Amino acid sequence: MTALTPKDPDYRAKVEASFARQAFLATIGAHMTALEPGRCTLELPTRADLCQQHGFVHAGATTTLADTAAGYAAFSLMPAGSAVLTTEFKVNLLSPAKGDKLVARAEVLKPGRTLIVVRSDVYGVEGGKETLVATMLATMICLAGASDPA
């Protein structure tokens, strides 16, 4: 990816304030560990209450992490005075989601003015070893003239 230039110099404060309002991310226990223009990394310690019937992290929790990382990778490039919404995503689940924690790394593929396409990969981390558990392809929309919170 070529270097991306944020349109809003205060993108970091904007993203962090928005993330702090995401109650569902607090509910599942995720936090942001890295942010740069067009890229965002989130981590989620695995917990029994996030799991599905086989004891792996539920695809919905994995998706929550991937989608949120993708949204903030996109939001980091948007101008001030705009809001971000997910319009659609597709997820392929490649391996059981397990380990000490999940890490989602999102990267903008196409920084359009209205639509921003983002790839977001989720890894299960066990003892420092990473396994790709899911990959997402997502489209984010920039709501110009809106505020976040909208």
Q: Is 92 in the site for a copy of itself (CB under 8 A)?
A: yes
d(CA 94, CA 96): 7
Contact range with a copy of itself by CB under 8 A, out of 3-11, 35-43, 93-101, 122-130: 93-101
Cβ–Cβ < 8 Å for 140, 70: yes
Q: Is 4 in the site for a copy of itself (CB under 8 A)?
A: no
Q: What are phi and psi of 111, to 5 degrees?
A: -90, 75
| 47-86: contacts with a copy of itself (CB under 8 A) | 48-55, 57-61, 63-65, 67-68, 83, 85-86
User: Under DSSP, is residue 32 helix (H, G, I), strand (E, B) or coil?
Assistant: strand
We find the least distance from the C-beta atom of residue 7 to a copy of itself, in angstroms, to be 19
Contact range with a copy of itself by CB under 8 A, out of 3-11, 32-40, 106-114, 122-130: 106-114
Q: CA torsion, points 9, 13, 16, 17, in degrees to nearest 10?
A: -120
Cβ–Cβ < 8 Å for 89, 67: yes
| 9-28: contacts with a copy of itself (CB under 8 A) | 18-19, 21-28
d(CA 104, CA 121): 6
Q: Site residues (CB under 8 A) for a copy of itself?
A: 18-19, 21-28, 48-55, 57-61, 63-65, 67-68, 83, 85-95, 109-110, 114-115, 117, 119, 132, 135, 137, 139, 141, 148-150
